[in-house]
Amino acid sequence: MKHDNKPSTTESLSKALIHQHGLSDEEYQAILAHLGREPNLTELGVFSVMWSEHCSYKSSRIHLKRFPTEGPRVVQGPGENAGAVDIGDGLAAVFKMESHNHPSFIEPFQGAATGVGGILRDIFTMGARPIALLDSLRFGELDHAKNRHLLQGVVSGISFYGNCIGVPTVGGEITFNDIYSKNPLVNVFCLGIVEKDRLLKGLAQGEGNLVLYIGAKTGRDGIHGATMASDSFDDASEKKRPNVQVGDPFLEKLLLEACLEFLEQDLLIGIQDMGAAGLTSSSCEMAARSGTGIELDVALVPRRESGMTPYEILLSESQERMLLVAKPGKQDAVLAICHKWGIDAAVVGKVTNDGLLRIKDGTQTVAEIPAKALAEEGPRYDRPAAPPSYQDSLQSLNLDMLPDVKNPDEVLIALLGSPTIASKAWVFRQYDYMVGTNTVVCPGSDAAVVRLKGTQKSLAITTDGNSRYCLLNPHMGGSLAVAEAARNLVCSGAEPIGVTDCLNFGNPERPDIMWQFVMAVEGIADACRALNIPVVSGNVSFYNETNGLSIYPTPILGMVGLIDAPEHITTQWFKQAGDHILLLGQTNEDLGGSEYLKVIHAREQGIIPWLDLEVEQRLHRCLLELIRQGWIQSAHDCSEGGLLVTLAECCITSPLAPLGAQITIPPHRIRLDGVLFGESPSRAVISVKPEHLDAVREAIVQAGVPLTDLGRVTSSSFDVTIQQAAPVSPICFSLPGSHLADIWKHSLAKQLDGDE
Amino acid sequence: MKAKIYVTLKEGILDPQGRAVQQSLQTLGFPAVEDVRIGKFLEVDIVETEQAAAEAQVRSMCEKLLANPVIENYRYELTEVSLPK
Amino acid sequence: MKAKIYVTLKEGILDPQGRAVQQSLQTLGFPAVEDVRIGKFLEVDIVETEQAAAEAQVRSMCEKLLANPVIENYRYELTEVSLPK
Amino acid sequence: MNIGIVVFPGSNCDRDCAYVASDVIGQSAQFIWHQETSLGEMDAIILPGGFSYGDYLRTGAIAHLSPIMDAVKAFAKQGGLVLGICNGFQILLESGLLPGAMLRNRGLSFRCEEVYVRVENAETPFTNQCHPGQVLKIPIAHAEGNYYTDPVTLSSLQANAQVIFRYCDADGQSTGPSNPNGSLDHIAGIRNAAGNVLGMMPHPERCAERALNNTDGFLVFQSMVASLKTQARLTAR
Ligand SMILES: Nc1ncnc2c1ncn2[C@@H]1O[C@H](COP(=O)(O)OP(=O)(O)O)[C@@H](O)[C@H]1O
Ligand SMILES: [Mg+2]
């Protein structure tokens, strides 16, 4: 062992400096124990980012263990750049979701763009070709100019990056609530496909193998971005405007093609993208996973600015960079491919067997840290959790204080025009959702469907999450999100096979926030277990808080389902006049936390719907059976806005001309607004050709799923008759389908462009 | 008045466009091209004859809309022009 | 040498971006803004000390790549800078 | 027949075009890297959509200077069929194979949606399977499809029946709202004077299969095959 070239630790680091790096006294003590000496400044910086909440999951890790992560299809569970599930035909679907909330608030366009870039790299570092993106967004209400500006910036950033790189953005979701005005959420999901036995991992095996750096040159971008994402905002941070990263989708497209060529030619031991904490996290994570060490020379790293210190090179978050370990003797082939695509590449180090991350600057060693101390042995906290004092008052709502609905047609129109329910075409038509020519169900149905060329199969994909539910009851809210995602897939004809999550919460050092987190994780875990859907990857974003005000707890699920045959692909809209309309599932007085209460009564309160997972599963089995028999024309899950909105959507969301419906709502024992606008889970509206009606009815009854006949599809107007218990006469209304369609279609554009 | 406004990327901010153009110029037979940075050039006509007032407006426009202070710098020149009316 | 190159849309060609910016400036409270035209501003560093040679190169770059003669005009200024090396 | 698909750095519809050429219309498709200087034995060339060079500077500007473009120009000069789709159209404009230029969309933002176009000339190698005035539904996906040219060029395009597609509504009427990007004279696609080079903003390769719920784009590829077959018969005679 050479002791002559240890990193120098000349001056002792001041307490202030340690705290500036976001490290607590105990954490600093742990660093001393790991090193057996004081760290120097570079090492302190490295520990600081790797032990940040963003990279270490120190507050969440112990809770994430509750997720079911195994199953017969799971090829890769959590722990790698992305998860993977077997989809047959020798293929695996690789997917993950990630947040870019903080950067998108500071610089919406670049923040969102680099978010897309980051998640794409997570997928293609697994050797998979990305085939679909989805984005899940949360913003403040659009009557504030600032929120409109943020939304416009974020959407154009996603559009800029995704369109340019040529991966279709096939879906997503967006809802509005002022709680997100100062903490908008930008979560991006990506799905890729790889031959199952060619899955690549972030490994650094084989002493002496060379470590290569490829991609963009390193600049001083986003130094300490990871620590920023682990910090709350206050008004001052809007002014601070820290080092923003700029995305280069063109370069990333070249990187993507180059990486797939490496795979084709079998040149690599392992590969990892340089995301948060850049060179540092990629190298120590690769070494730690493999039980090896890595030695890097920062002097060899391609740079675009002069005078960069090792500290800056190690912590830079410049985008579009990857670290890879080449198979012995294959480095020249790697370099040649990089040359062909015009990408910078350099050998920057080698794999060692001493378990250390050793950083050199030429001949001088500037840092030397056990890789596992950084990547795996960071702090873990079981932080105190307790429900907030206001939880009870959130849940208590006396519905008798609110008048029941008198004019359901007016409420329907108000809901269809409300931004959370209105058409999101203003957003997705800025995205290229067709490139790749696999998108067989474009944005606008319950789930997007992409076909897999060369097979009979397709994948359905959706993202879902209802933060108001999670605020009112985080455990049930988490379960409901899983159920809704799965229901969306099932309505599209798919069997759910895997899920990724992005958990957006406030400050985990607050017991009430931690309680929300723990409850939501439990709720998600329970539902995934009951529905047999493994969690294969995910991401946690804490500190979504400004001036002490936290966002609603917002777990988002990204779920993937498998469709075996093209005939089973099902969309949500009615197909043909004359078809019968049926409601599957039971309607209860589920108004608590509903969109109706918020839009019409300005309340975000109440007891949220109760989810019975067995009932939910029964519905899924029944729907899939009906779809596979070829018996149904359309299926749409009942969610935000309730039954009446769902029925209207079935009429107006078709890419072709809108249809109408003749609906009769049978007499009911609960409040009328509960019937029409309540959000009971485990329900779906289907349409059936007359010749299949009997078979369908019988199958539904056999399956033990409650069934209600609602009427027939018609060619134009939306006619509703609501029967009342005698002697009250029925409520009737009739609205032209085209009128409903106009309101629903143009609402967002009206608010955002001021025209149309 | 006419304002000529130059919006450029801040020092140290990546300029992917500039990089692509520089590389393409090099392969096109301009090996001497060392660096290219691409910014915006705006010409804004303002119905305002007072230098100071015009200047205040231009500065405010730049800050509010024309330049993105997170990643861009701006500078401007004001020239008098005889606008019709 | 450093070349500052200005690429602008030809007179008479509608500039959709400029128009949009003008409209947003008006709604943002700058009613005096009559017209906005948006062009490009390129800064190109060339390792070349001779004015004439540099000028020839810049003109050729503009014609081959930097401006599209169907819709754009260009002009440039050359300034000497002491490049390191 | 051999269809060559030129791949520029940043092309992203190259694989989609190849899929249609091989799997949908049953021809042989080959990728041609932009650094090549010869096309090989090709019967038709497609410049695919995408973001060549990231669309940096101007769409198509950097790509048109790629080494392969000399070969494409020579091929076009000899009467070879060249189809430029979206970014490919923009590259054809930059290279001078077609007249005019693209400006930013009137609404400034990227638009991805199905639009209608009217076939203005059904006697071209790209439209011979359509009937005159036929309305096709084809998706667009671009931010810079606002076609512009000077008035003299425009009238010669009109006079020589070089405007092949115009944006219109479902009934074939060209109106303001039916034009998604503000292009001059509602132009969605034009050909050169000789008739063998077509540039179009809409993406026929995205609607050439029943699986994608729209087969209108198939007509463009089918027309090319028909035209090449006729040509081959004529030369054989
Ligand atoms: N909420 C979660 N559920 C399941 N797995 C998670 C969750 N959060 C993180 N993980 C897993 O932890 C690992 C590290 O997280 P990751 O987000 O990949 O870090 P990075 O931001 O560096 O990519 C990943 O494998 C990820 O899938
Ligand atoms: Mg990762």
D65 touches chain C (CB under 8 A): yes
What are the backbone dihedrals phi and psi of residue C56, each rounded to the nearest 5 degrees, phi first? -60, -40
Average pLDDT, chain A: 93
- What pLDDT, on the 0 to 100 scale, is given for residue A570? 97
- Atom 10, ligand 1: residue with shortest CA distance: A538
- Atom 17, ligand 1: residue with shortest CA distance: A539
What is the average pLDDT across A689-714? 97
Give the model's confidence band at A239: pLDDT under 50 very low, under 70 low, under 90 confident, else very high. Answer: very low
Q: Where are the alpha helices (DSSP H) in A166-277?
A: 225-228, 235-240, 249-264
Which residue in the set A250, A453, A753 is minimally distant from D51, CB to CB?
Answer: A250
- What pLDDT, on the 0 to 100 scale, is given for residue A237? 46
- The full 3-state SS of D93-136, as one line of letters, equals HHHCCCCCEEECCCCCCCEEEEEEEEECCCCCCCCCCCCCCCEE
Q: Which residues of B touch A216 (CB under 8 A)?
A: 14
From A100, A102, A620, A746, the catalytic residue: A100
Q: Determine the 3-state secondary structure of D39 from DSSP.
A: coil
- Find, among A750, A741, A613, A600, the residue nearest to A672 by Cα: A600
Helical axes A331-341 vs A249-264, angle rounded to 10°: 140
> What's the rounded Cα separation, in Å, for the pair A153 and A528?
34
Give the model's confidence band at A623: pLDDT under 50 very low, under 70 low, under 90 confident, else very high. Answer: very high
Average pLDDT along chain B, 85 residues, taken 10 residues at a time: 92 89 92 94 91 91 90 91 58
Residue A583: alpha-carbon gap to chain centroid: 30
Q: Which residues of C touch D181 (CB under 8 A)?
A: none
> What's the rounded Cα separation, in Å, for the pair A570 and A560?
15
Give the model's confidence band at C80: pLDDT under 50 very low, under 70 low, under 90 confident, else very high. Answer: confident
> What's the rounded Cα separation, in Å, for the pair B17 and B32?
18
Which one-letter DSSP state was computed for residue D11?
A: B
- What pLDDT, on the 0 to 100 scale, is given for residue A228? 52
Q: Is the pLDDT of residue A755 over 50?
A: no
> What's the rounded Cα separation, in Å, for the pair A751 and A417?
11
From A21, A34, A54, A620, the catalytic residue: A54
- What pLDDT, on the 0 to 100 scale, is given for residue A231? 59
Compute, in angstroms, the gap from residue A78 CA to the centroid of ligand 2: 11
Q: Is the pLDDT of residue D124 over 80?
A: yes
Q: Determine the 3-state secondary structure of A485 from DSSP.
A: helix
Tokens 């290229």 locate to A432
Give the model's confidence band at A14: pLDDT under 50 very low, under 70 low, under 90 confident, else very high. Answer: confident
> What's the rounded Cα separation, in Å, for the pair D93 and D61?
9
pLDDT in tens, A73-102: 999 999 889 999 999 999 999 999 999 999
Compute, in angstroms, the gap from residue A723 CA to the centroid of ligand 2: 55
- What pLDDT, on the 0 to 100 scale, is given for residue A245? 85
- What pLDDT, on the 0 to 100 scale, is given for residue C28? 86
Q: Which ligand is nearest to the CA of A536?
A: 1
A664 touches chain D (CB under 8 A): no
Compute, in angstroms, the gap from residue A122 CA to the centroid of ligand 2: 5
Residue D72: alpha-carbon gap to chain centroid: 14
> What's the rounded Cα separation, in Å, for the pair A342 and A220?
22
Which residues, 6 or more positions from A541, have their beta carbon under 8 angstroms from its beta carbon? Answer: A54, A99, A101, A185, A187, A229, A502, A503, A504, A505
pLDDT in tens, A183-218: 999 999 999 999 999 999 889 999 999 999 999 999
Which CATH number is D125's domain given? 3.40.50.880
What is the average pLDDT across A358-367? 94
Q: What is the ipTM of this complex?
A: 0.90
CB contact under 8 A, D54 and A156: no
Q: Which residues of D touch A254 (CB under 8 A)?
A: 9-10
What is the average pLDDT across D28-44? 95
- What pLDDT, on the 0 to 100 scale, is given for residue A238? 40
Q: Which ligand is nearest to the CA of A97?
A: 1
| Count of beta carbons in the 10 Å neighbourhood of residue A447 | 33
Q: What is the pTM of this model?
A: 0.93
Q: Which ligand is nearest to the CA of A537?
A: 1
Atom of ligand 1 nearest to the CA of A98: 17
Which CATH fold topology does B2-79 show?
Mth169; Chain: A , (3.30.1280)
Written as one letter, the residue type at A702 is Q
Angle at A82 between CA A81 and CA A85, to 5 degrees: 145
Q: How far is D213 from chain A (nearest CA, A)?
A: 7
A54 is catalytic: yes
Written as one letter, the residue type at D70 is D
Residues A598-619 as b or e (16 or more Cβ within 10 Å = b):
bbbbebbbbbbbbbebebbbbb
- What pLDDT, on the 0 to 100 scale, is given for residue A234? 54
CB distance A229 to A276 below 8 Å: yes
Q: How far is D100 from chain C (nearest CA, A)?
A: 6
What are the backbone dihedrals phi and psi of residue B56, each rounded to the nearest 5 degrees, phi first? -60, -40
- Find, among D53, D54, D96, the residue nearest to D72 by Cα: D96
Q: Which residues of C touch B8 (CB under 8 A)?
A: 41, 43
CB distance A78 to A69 below 8 Å: yes
Residue of C70, C73, C74 to mutate, testing the D interface (most D Cβ within 10 Å of its Cβ): C70
Q: How far is B54 from chain D (nearest CA, A)?
A: 28
- What pLDDT, on the 0 to 100 scale, is given for residue A727? 84
CB contact under 8 A, A434 and D209: no
D112 is catalytic: no
- What pLDDT, on the 0 to 100 scale, is given for residue A464? 96
What are the backbone dihedrals phi and psi of residue D28, each rounded to the nearest 5 degrees, phi first? -95, 135
Give the sign of the dihedral formed by CA D122, CA D123, CA D124, CA D127.
positive
| Count of beta carbons in the 10 Å neighbourhood of residue A509 | 15
Pocket around ligand 1 at a 6 A CB cut-off: A 55, 57, 64, 67, 78-80, 98, 122, 275-276, 281, 501, 503, 535, 537-540
- Find, among A249, A702, A188, A639, the residue nearest to A415 by Cα: A639
Tally the domains of chain D: 1
Would you state the structure tokens that stand for residue D229, as one six-digit string? 């077959």
Q: What is the domain extent for residue D86? A: 2-236
Whats the size of chain B, residue-wise? Answer: 85
A341 touches chain D (CB under 8 A): yes
- Atom 6, ligand 1: residue with shortest CA distance: A538
Residue A39: alpha-carbon gap to chain centroid: 37
Give the sign of the dihedral formed by CA A190, CA A191, CA A196, CA A198.
negative
Q: How far is A253 from chain D (nearest CA, A)?
A: 6
Q: Which residues of A touch D13 (CB under 8 A)?
A: 166, 435
Q: Which ligand is nearest to the CA of A202?
A: 2
Query: Secondary structure of chain B: what % helix, strand, coil (to 5)?
Result: 35, 35, 30
What is the average pLDDT across A506-525? 97
> What's the rounded Cα separation, in Å, for the pair B15 and A247?
9
Q: How far is C15 from chain B (nearest CA, A)?
A: 11
Atom of ligand 1 nearest to the CA of A118: 23
D110 touches chain B (CB under 8 A): no
- What pLDDT, on the 0 to 100 scale, is given for residue C85? 45
> What's the rounded Cα separation, in Å, for the pair A39 and A29?
11
| Count of beta carbons in the 10 Å neighbourhood of residue A6 | 11
Q: Which residues of C touch B44 (CB under 8 A)?
A: 25, 33, 35-36
- A313, A318, A321, A325 alpha-carbon torsion, rounded to 10°: 30
Q: Which chains touch A (3 or more CB pairs under 8 A)?
A: B, D
- What pLDDT, on the 0 to 100 scale, is given for residue D233? 84
Beta strand A83-88 with C33-46 is unpaired
A573 touches chain D (CB under 8 A): no
Which residues, 6 or more positions from A211, have their beta carbon under 8 angstroms from its beta carbon? Answer: A204, A283, A294, A296, A323, A324, A325, A347, A348, A349, A350, A351
B40 touches chain C (CB under 8 A): yes
Beta strand A535-541 with A495-504 is parallel
Q: Which C residues in the span 32-61 are in contact with D, Cβ-Cβ below 8 Å?
A: 40
Q: Is the pLDDT of residue D123 over 60?
A: yes
Give the model's confidence band at A4: pLDDT under 50 very low, under 70 low, under 90 confident, else very high. Answer: very low
DSSP codes, A609-620 = PPP-HHHHHHHH
pLDDT in tens, A26-38: 999 999 999 999 9
pLDDT in tens, A43-66: 999 999 999 998 999 999 999 999
pLDDT in tens, D49-90: 999 999 999 999 999 999 999 999 999 999 999 999 999 999
- What pLDDT, on the 0 to 100 scale, is given for residue B83? 52
Give the sign of the dihedral formed by CA A121, CA A125, CA A128, CA A129.
positive
Q: Determine the 3-state secondary structure of C45 from DSSP.
A: strand
> What's the rounded Cα separation, in Å, for the pair A176 and C49?
58
Q: Is the pLDDT of residue C83 over 60?
A: no
- Find, among A512, A439, A479, A551, the residue nearest to A139 by Cα: A551
What residues are paired with A665 via a beta bridge?
Answer: A722
Compute, in angstroms, the gap from residue A274 CA to the centroid of ligand 2: 8
- What pLDDT, on the 0 to 100 scale, is given for residue A12? 72
Q: Which residues of B touch D53 (CB under 8 A)?
A: 20, 24
Q: Which chains touch B (3 or more CB pairs under 8 A)?
A: A, C, D
Q: Is the pLDDT of residue A235 over 60?
A: no
DSSP codes, A440-466 = EE-BTBSSEEEE-TTSS-EEEEEEE--
Q: Is A177 left (phi over 0), alpha (psi -120 to 50) or beta?
A: beta
| Count of beta carbons in the 10 Å neighbourhood of residue A52 | 26
What is the average pLDDT across A65-73? 96
Atom of ligand 1 nearest to the CA of A69: 4
pLDDT in tens, A105-136: 999 999 999 999 999 999 999 999 999 999 99
- What pLDDT, on the 0 to 100 scale, is given for residue A20? 85
Q: Which of the listed residues A66, A524, A539 should we mutate to test ligand 1's pocket, taking the one with most ligand atoms within 8 A of CB? A: A539
